Amino acid sequence: MDEVGFLKNELAHLQGFLQDAEHKRRSGDASAAVLLWQIRDAAYDAENIIEASEYMEKGNKLKKGFMGAISSCHGWGRENYTY
């Protein structure tokens, strides 16, 4: 399992803890409010990291696909690229 897969798995666990903490908070457990805030913060961070990783991965695939299409249409190899 890669790091993003691991993070997605951990996020699923955090969501379970969020549900439990929310139930405890509604039952009047004062310490659950702090726990709930901390878990939500961690879950938001994890979601942001996952989204950023997926965005970067899609961008890399598009870039490779675009450059591959150009080079195959024009018969160019990487040695013909000028930077």
The pLDDT tens digits for 36-83 are 888 888 888 888 998 998 888 887 776 666 666 565 555 555 555 554
Side-chain half-sphere exposure of 67, counting CA atoms within 13 A: 11
How do the domains of the chain map onto residue ranges?
A: 3-80
DSSP states of 15-27: HHHHHHHHHHHHT
Question: Do 18 and 40 meet the contact criterion of CB atoms below 8 Å apart?
Answer: yes
pLDDT of residue 5: 87
